Structure 1
Amino acid sequence: MKERLLRSWELVKASAAVLRSDRELMLFPLVSMAATLLVMLTFAVPMFGWRVFENGFGAAGLVWMFLFYFCQYAVIVFCNCALVAAAMIRLEGGDPTLKDGFQAALQRIGAILGYAAIAATVGMLLRAMRDNERNPLVQLLGGGLGVAWTMATFLMAPVLVSEQIGPFEALRKSGRLLQRTWGEAAAGAVGIGLAFGALMLGLGVAGVALVWLAAKVSVALAVAIAVLAALALVLLGLLKSALNGVYAAALFRYISHGETPPAFQGLPMAQAPGTEPATT
């Protein structure tokens, strides 16, 4: 276990080096964040204006929630696919632009929208299970299934942009690839999540403390520090998303095609047990 964690950390560091060499990759999570906020506003304003949930969570509310989930997932998956497509170009030695990534994702828009519909359905079901306050076992099961779904779809973006297949076949292929790379996928994703989670927590605590101290001197200073802390948290979130995309792209390229990206040469990717390249 220790060797696997150390190996995965080396791969994460290599992914970070790729990201440093092409900071434009950071723009994809930024566009995704802006678009998801726009979707939220687009649905929130009519929801209150039309009083969609005035009479409880009926059929109209169910349809509204599905549409919201679908639009959110469509935006997120589309931007993730654009990021991964650009990362793959960078891993091949190219110099991708924002346009290159979004053009690649646009070419697979049908499969992306199909997967968004599947993800929206699964997301609603898992949300209903986690919100079931009457049955703690159902809540626990929902949480466990949520983690399993997240891992099973870890390589969905690279599969969607690289393979000319539909969303259901893409899900099956992502699952098959995960069987060969589950250790690195899990350790890498969890490692990135824990590292950035710790950074965000530390930054949040420090920010609150500084705001409290600054408020004793000047309200304007406290507001300025709060804004800077919020921006720093947003930046960390963008970094995490971009790093996940690069890591998934590199892992997919090796597992699916048996090619170690130049930026990962000399690292233990090729020797990692459970990450043998596909031969079919």
Structure 2
Amino acid sequence: MFDKFSRSWEMVKASAAVLRSDRELMLFPVLSGLATLLVMATFALPVLALKLFSGGLSVGGVLVGFVFYFCTYSVIIFFNCALVGAAMIRLEGGDPTLSDGLSAARSRLRAIFGYAAIAATVGVLLQALKGKDNNFIVRLIGSGLGLAWTLATFLVVPVLVSRDIGPVDALKQSVTLLKRTWGENAVGQVGIGAAFGLLTFVAVLLSVGLVVLAAQASVALAFVVGAVCLLGVLLLAVYQAALTGIYSAVLYRYAVSHEVPEAFRGTDIATAFLPKR
């Protein structure tokens, strides 16, 4: 397990090097975040105005929840496909632009919407299992299924971008590749999530401290410091999303073609996919 962690961490660092060489890739998570906020605002206003959930969960509430999940997933998956599409071009030695990534995602719109419908259905079911009205065992099962779903679908986006297949076949391909990359898949996701989770926690603590100190001087200064700190935390989230997209593209590309990108020549990526004994 230690070997897998060490090897995966090398790949994460190499992914960061790719991101540093092409910072335009960070634009995709930014656009994704803005579009997601727009979707949330679009649903929040009518839900609050009509008080759809004031009387508990209803059929109408479930339908609204599904549509919300579908729209949100469609936006997130679209921009993830754009990010991975641009990352693929970079890994092949090209110099991708924002337009290149968006074009790659637009060409797969039908499959993206199909996968978003599947992901929305799973999302609604998982949220139902993890609801606070359920007992601890049911919530635990829901959390476990959520983790398994996250791992199994980690390579769906690279598959959708690279192959002209539907969402169901893309899911099957992702699960098949998971069997060959499960160690790097799990350690990479957990490693990136843990590292940025810790960084975000520290950043939030520092931000609170700086805002409190600034407030002793003036309220206006506290607002300015708070805005700058919030921007820093958001940038961490953007960097994490971009890094995760690049990492998934690298895993998929090598698992399928066994070609080592230039940025990964110094890593042990080749040993990550040796036949299982």
Pick the TM interval, shorter chain. Answer: over 0.9
The corresponding residue for 1:203 is: 203
The corresponding residue for 1:31 is: 31
Q: How big is each residue's C-alpha offset from its partner over 1:127-176, in whole Å with a ceiling of 9 and x where there is no partner?
A: 11111433100000001111110010111110011111111110010000
Between the aligned partners of 2:71 and 2:106, the Cα distance in structure 1 is 16
Between the aligned partners of 1:266 and 1:231, the Cα distance in structure 2 is 34
Between the aligned partners of 1:197 and 1:187, the Cα distance in structure 2 is 15
**TM-score normalised per structure 2:** 0.97
The question of whether the paired residues in 2 share the 8 Å contact of 1:126 and 1:142 is answered with yes
1:120-131 pair list within 5 angstroms: 120-131=120-131
Tell me, which stretches of 5 or more residues in structure 1 are unaligned?
A: none
Q: How big is each residue's C-alpha offset from its partner over 1:50-92, in whole Å with a ceiling of 9 and x where there is no partner?
A: 3333443221111111000000000000100110000000000
Equivalent position SS for 2:271: coil
Amino acid at match of 1:258: H
The corresponding residue for 1:99 is: 99
Measured on the aligned residues, the alpha-carbon RMSD in Å equals 1.2
Q: How big is each residue's C-alpha offset from its partner over 1:168-201, in whole Å with a ceiling of 9 and x where there is no partner?
A: 1100100000100010111111111111111100
1:154-173 pair list within 5 angstroms: 154-173=154-173
Equivalent position SS for 1:270: helix
1:1-280 pair list within 5 angstroms: 1-272=1-272, 275-276=273-274
The question of whether the paired residues in 2 share the 8 Å contact of 1:156 and 1:174 is answered with yes
**TM-score normalised per structure 1:** 0.95
Between the aligned partners of 2:39 and 2:161, the Cα distance in structure 1 is 23
Between the aligned partners of 2:64 and 2:14, the Cα distance in structure 1 is 42
Equivalent position SS for 2:52: coil
The question of whether the paired residues in 2 share the 8 Å contact of 1:132 and 1:138 is answered with no
The ranges of structure 1 where at least 4 consecutive aligned residues each deviate by more than 6 angstroms after the TM superposition are: none
Amino acid at match of 1:22: D
Amino acid at match of 1:242: A
Amino acid at match of 1:71: C
Between the aligned partners of 1:79 and 1:211, the Cα distance in structure 2 is 33
Return the offset for 1:212: 1.3
The question of whether the paired residues in 2 share the 8 Å contact of 1:83 and 1:242 is answered with yes
Tell me, which stretches of 5 or more residues in structure 2 are unaligned?
A: none
Report the CA distance shift for 1:55/1:132 in structure 2 as closer, same or farther (over 3 A): closer
Amino acid at match of 1:17: A
Between the aligned partners of 2:40 and 2:218, the Cα distance in structure 1 is 34
Between the aligned partners of 2:96 and 2:221, the Cα distance in structure 1 is 40
Between the aligned partners of 1:35 and 1:166, the Cα distance in structure 2 is 24
Between the aligned partners of 2:162 and 2:48, the Cα distance in structure 1 is 41
